[in-house]
Amino acid sequence: MQDIALSSMTAHMLGLIFASMYVGSIYVSKEARLVFNDQLTAVDSTGKPRERPRADNERWRDDPDVIRARLIAVTIATVLCITSVCWITPAALPLLGLWPSFPTSLTSLRHVVAPHLITPLLFLGPLYAKFLSFSPRNHWRGNLSTRTKLLFCNVTGLRNYIVAPITEEIVFRACVLSVYLLSPTLAASQIGLVLTPPLNFGVAHLHHAWDTYNRLGRTAVALKRAVFISLFQMVYTTLFGALCTYLFLQTHYSVLVPITAHIFCNIMGFPDFREDLRLGEGDGRKGVVIAAYLLGVVGFVYSVSPAGRWWWSFAENIEVLLR
């Protein structure tokens, strides 16, 4: 299938270009750019910076009009990235994994559904704690309705749980990996494919430091806080990108699995083990919360190991697809 071979340097440069196109798109339009005043704010009694009030002439990241402009920008950037990959060679189109697989038997049904369960398995502990938060004593019916509306029924939810996961996975997984797979040298190393491309995804989140620094008041303390948060987010998103890359490769280049994993993780947020323990202790189920965390981690590690991939992975050799 492969009618073009890219050098390692070319593949790396194209991956960086795709990432730059995606992030840079939100700064092209004036409507999508953020605007801050040179306003300082004091820290609270604990020495931590607190978010200052938004001025009327400012444009913050979560402003509805800013979100709408950025959704349009990243959608255009995503289409341009896909077009660029296809322009390089039409043979790369199947590597994008944009077409979902449809089951034709029980075995194929398992291979279609099971990969979507890998990430929730890792989050088994937080999932159980989430279940406790919806228990009858916490009036789960009202909580469920309220939380659903707050999460999904607004433009912020559209960004966080629909457009951002879909466009980011198409660009940072499908498009970036497709050019890496067109490089014989890079495609020969499964470990390299899992570890190297996600760096683009992690670094792409560093620009949030400017937003955090300004919202916290542009003080020295705010700068330290912004740097810490952004570096932590870079590490976390790089590791998450490695997981999504692994899922993409192990599911025979299906971008749908990383997309659902991304949506799921955005909904769940970063696990708060201490808070989940507190919640479990309040229900008299602290031990069950701990057990769920351990079972989830052990089950995940086993499932992504060569011995445990039997129940969900249907990956074939990379050369099979490129042949």
Tell me the DSSP string of 135-158. Answer: SGGGTHHHHHHHHHHHHHSSHHHH
Tokens (6 digits) for 52: 């200052």
Tokens (6 digits) for 45: 């009694």
Q: Residue 316: is its pLDDT beyond 80?
A: no
Across residues 222-241, what is the average pLDDT? 96
- Check residue 1 and give its pLDDT: 44
Q: How far apart are CA 101 and CA 119, in angstroms?
A: 19
Query: How crowded is residue 189: how many other Cβ atoms within 10 Å of its Cβ?
Result: 12
Q: Residue 140: is its pLDDT beyond 70?
A: no
> Pick from 251, 237, 256, 161: which is nearest to 197 by CA?
237
Looking from the CA of 68 toward its CB, the CA atoms found within 13 Å total 6
For the chain, percent of residues with pLDDT exceeding 70 = 90
Across residues 115-136, what is the average pLDDT? 92
Return the higher-pLDDT residue of 145 and 231: 231
Query: How crowded is residue 116: how many other Cβ atoms within 10 Å of its Cβ?
Result: 18
Cβ(296)–Cβ(123) under 8 Å? yes
Please, what is the average pLDDT of the chain?
A: 89
Q: How far apart are CA 78 and CA 197, in angstroms?
A: 17
Tokens (6 digits) for 302: 């086993």
> Pick from 168, 193, 176, 185: which is nearest to 15 by CA?
176
Q: CA geometry: angle at 201 spanning 200 and 207, to 5°?
A: 95
DSSP string of 85-102? HHHH-GGGGGGG--SPP-
Q: Residue 317: is its pLDDT beyond 60?
A: no
Tokens (6 digits) for 114: 């099971």
Q: How far apart are CA 239 and CA 234, in angstroms?
A: 9
Cβ(286)–Cβ(126) under 8 Å? no
Q: Is 14 exposed, middle or buried (0-12, 13-18, 19+ CB in 10 A)?
A: buried
Tokens (6 digits) for 175: 């498009």
Reported as a pLDDT band with limits 50, 70 and 90, residue 139 is low
> Where would I find the H helices in 162-204?
164-169, 176-181, 184-187, 190-195, 198-203
pTM over cut 0.85: yes
Q: CA geometry: angle at 106 spanning 103 and 108, to 5°?
A: 40
- Check residue 150 and give its pLDDT: 78
Q: How far apart are CA 257 and CA 15, in angstroms?
A: 21
Q: Residue 321: is its pLDDT beyond 50?
A: no
